[in-house]
Structure 1
């Protein structure tokens, strides 16, 4: 079901909706639109209880006689003096999840900060919070019913509000496309299947070329071929091309696309394998971005590279001790087949350099060390260019996606040395596994400004951590950050 978000002018007391979502600040202080609700309840402020104090993430359903809406949803916003749009995005996500059982919601959230950034954040929050993936349910009696959200604004702001909502919906659709790709079961998105799905989903949005195993062998993509050797489903390299009229520069986005990662012969433990269908979240994010750039009118030329392989044990699987020749000729000793993502990325990065872009950004669920370093909800960024790194972090702040820099310590490069080949694929012994992963990738980008986003944490939300607009499963992390970065880069 597609959620429709619209803007309208009107008195919240007369909003024809199943629920009127009203902001409440910490301590029970009513926000915009709360006055008629308080009056109907005969109160000056909302009562504070252990379950509802007005904090971000909290909500409370009440009835208020005299309002047209059938019920009122109080949505916590935290401190009254906070100004960041992210809290509105989260509040809208909370409201969307709480309103799953009704069809129509009206809200006064937009009046907390009377600007288009606030309206866009609210529209995104509702769209992302309402999104569920129910493609594989044989019976769906508990499917969400929410169909429409009306954002109440003064009539003088209607035009701007509608434009902000339109842009936000494009960001949200692209994010949800990435989520759905991540959530697709691994038996239904093996590399040839995923390549075909991306071709179908992005038809009309950009040009798509798919390299099969024969083309990969002919053109020397040894990393992809090595990782895919243990699987009966061969690897693919998907190239997505968007070129606007008179483009302002050229950017290449590279996504790790391991459609299922068992670890290969260096087999993972079972409890480390249960969410490994998400090991292609980087590729999913790149596909999401390319699905939206044309509709958004992005003025930057964008090429997306999805490096797709399935990492399984098998009679012909790559072995620890093998030497792989990456696209461009660099040789890598495989010391651990569970460090496979960097092999497929190395192929794609070397190829990307040959496209002569102004910048390269890769996204990958690369290391558990990134979760240790920056936590479940943030990605680590490593870059050879400070300006690029800061531009990505600024875009992430706008998108509400946490992104924290890690250094590419030169002293750790020695751990990639091996007497057998140009470098090894693990670099054990020096700690800093995420940084060593970044240092490995840096070897393949030459002098091109490049950033590596290790999204191992925020790409996937365990069910027990789902909250506000983050559902259990794939999150689509990185899509909104990269779209914001591309739009800012063009301007």
Structure 2
């Protein structure tokens, strides 16, 4: 898919299709009015006949509009002008792209980026249009024998900006939007892979493929033998029931001087989570292939980072593992010694992600990081608390939490902060070990973060629970690629790239 920006009047556009907006009730946008004028009122006459009301998401495709150079004009309903917000804008873009893709318009000039979205500038509108376009066109067809792709798919989009001086802003927005969209696609592809293909070794292969195409990236792997030597007994215990070896893949991106402390992203990579001995219910268990959504997200962010070539040092850790029931599997009642030396009483083998992450979080101390952010589909409780719309953020470092929430706001990849007060720590106390791996039903998302916080005393740390946002269920089930947009924006901000034009 090719993207570009231009600044021009609609009557001069010679394209397969020109896209303009219509507000409720049947009120033309300024651009649509220009087309209406040169067509001798052709468009307004159609609206008066009731062909389009202008409700959000309505589409009307016109062919050979009088005196218009473009072959087609797509009228897009934008709802009430004063109610056009970020969510509706992205929905309108997505619906527009799907319509264009289904109607054989291989290229289009889009004027929707000139719509007024409260509090958002040209950079945001163009970048979100790029990301929404790529998201709308995404399909996972790798394992289908009959793919059924469109005969004449959309191949080129030109976004119009109001003035020529905003062209450089639009170009930067396209560059960043494509990088983020690429990372989202990588995350989706890896997460959507079935667990008989996507195992910890597969995650390592994907990391190595990234390194092969970027000089600034190197990869190392920590396998079970080295984990044993390091005392990562908690991580090892989770994978003991699986035929697939546990592998922690470490991706080094070196974009700055070696003196600059790295930002470390740690992704939970449970390529399948059966629950282990504490077996999950059978209904919907196929979706537990998405329990590596954190690792998929980190891999996606590292891909976006490499595309943007940011002047940062970043380390991405894919904590690959598989949790299966077996004669050798760990059990409720076991007490594990973590890499940190702290002991954990296992009360439920389905609370396995934190047992993998705690050793990974101890391991990354050696990098003397500037900050560590772990990303995990960690708790069903987060889905109950925040639904499928917002990722949970918890942190022991207020400035880092605020940075993440700011990046969430900028990118439109929503997140919400939950408390991490000391009172919650009492719920994971154990009479037999330093802590238990669960703290009961109340505040389950927070007590999971409390558990992880005990392994992060030596650096600034934040935890993201993406259990509700990493994938969608139902007929159109699939990975979302979140939180790649949010974390990519976080890195853009850390690199000092000004996106508030």
TM-score by length of 2: 0.89
Pair 1:51–1:373, CA change in 2 (3 A)? farther
TM-superposed deviation, 1:23: 2.6
TM-superposed deviation, 1:287: 0.8
- Render the CA deviation track for 1:176-221: whole Å, top value 9, x for unaligned: 1111111111111111122112211343431111112212212222
CA RMSD in angstroms, aligned pairs only = 2.4
TM-superposed deviation, 1:75: 3.2
3-state SS, counterpart of residue 169 of structure 1: helix
| C-alpha distance in structure 2 between counterparts of 1:47 and 1:133, whole Å | 42
Q: 2:460 aligns with which of 449, 466, 472?
A: 449
Q: 1:33 aligns with which of 31, 34, 39?
A: 31
Question: Do the aligned residues in 1 keep the contact of 2:203 with 2:318 (CA within 8 Å)?
Answer: no
- Render the CA deviation track for 1:437-486: whole Å, top value 9, x for unaligned: 1111111100422111111111102345x6xxxxx411110111111111
Alignment partner, residue 148 of structure 1: 156
Alignment partner, residue 400 of structure 1: 412
Q: 1:19 aligns with which of 14, 17, 20?
A: 17
TM-superposed deviation, 1:82: 5.8
Alignment partner, residue 125 of structure 2: 118
3-state SS, counterpart of residue 100 of structure 1: helix
Further displaced range: 76-85 or 273-282: 76-85
Further displaced range: 327-336 or 115-124: 115-124
| C-alpha distance in structure 2 between counterparts of 1:169 and 1:267, whole Å | 41
Alignment partner, residue 171 of structure 1: 180
TM-superposed deviation, 1:385: 1.3
Alignment partner, residue 62 of structure 1: 61
What is the aligned residue count?
480
3-state SS, counterpart of residue 421 of structure 1: coil
TM-superposed deviation, 1:12: 2.7
Where do 5+ consecutive residues of structure 2 fail to align?
Answer: 497-501
Question: Do the aligned residues in 1 keep the contact of 2:227 with 2:236 (CA within 8 Å)?
Answer: yes
Question: Do the aligned residues in 2 keep the contact of 1:30 with 1:46 (CA within 8 Å)?
Answer: no
Alignment partner, residue 127 of structure 1: 134
User: Is structure 2 residue 118 aligned with structure 1 residue 106?
Assistant: no
| C-alpha distance in structure 1 between counterparts of 2:449 and 2:207, whole Å | 27
- Render the CA deviation track for 1:126-170: whole Å, top value 9, x for unaligned: 122212221111112244722111212354443432232122111
Alignment partner, residue 91 of structure 1: 92
Pair 1:60–1:375, CA change in 2 (3 A)? same
Q: How does 1:62-81 map to 2 (within 5 A)?
A: 62-63=61-62, 65-66=65-66, 67-81=68-82
Where do 5+ consecutive residues of structure 1 fail to align?
Answer: 467-471
| C-alpha distance in structure 2 between counterparts of 1:345 and 1:46, whole Å | 58
Question: Do the aligned residues in 2 keep the contact of 1:255 with 1:283 (CA within 8 Å)?
Answer: yes
Question: Do the aligned residues in 1 keep the contact of 2:52 with 2:60 (CA within 8 Å)?
Answer: no
3-state SS, counterpart of residue 481 of structure 1: helix
| C-alpha distance in structure 2 between counterparts of 1:278 and 1:286, whole Å | 14
User: Is structure 2 residue 397 aligned with structure 1 residue 385?
Assistant: yes
TM-superposed deviation, 1:317: 1.1
Pair 1:352–1:32, CA change in 2 (3 A)? farther
Pair 1:50–1:406, CA change in 2 (3 A)? farther
3-state SS, counterpart of residue 376 of structure 1: coil
Alignment partner, residue 197 of structure 2: 188
Question: Do the aligned residues in 1 keep the contact of 2:261 with 2:368 (CA within 8 Å)?
Answer: no
| C-alpha distance in structure 2 between counterparts of 1:75 and 1:455, whole Å | 33
Alignment partner, residue 499 of structure 2: none
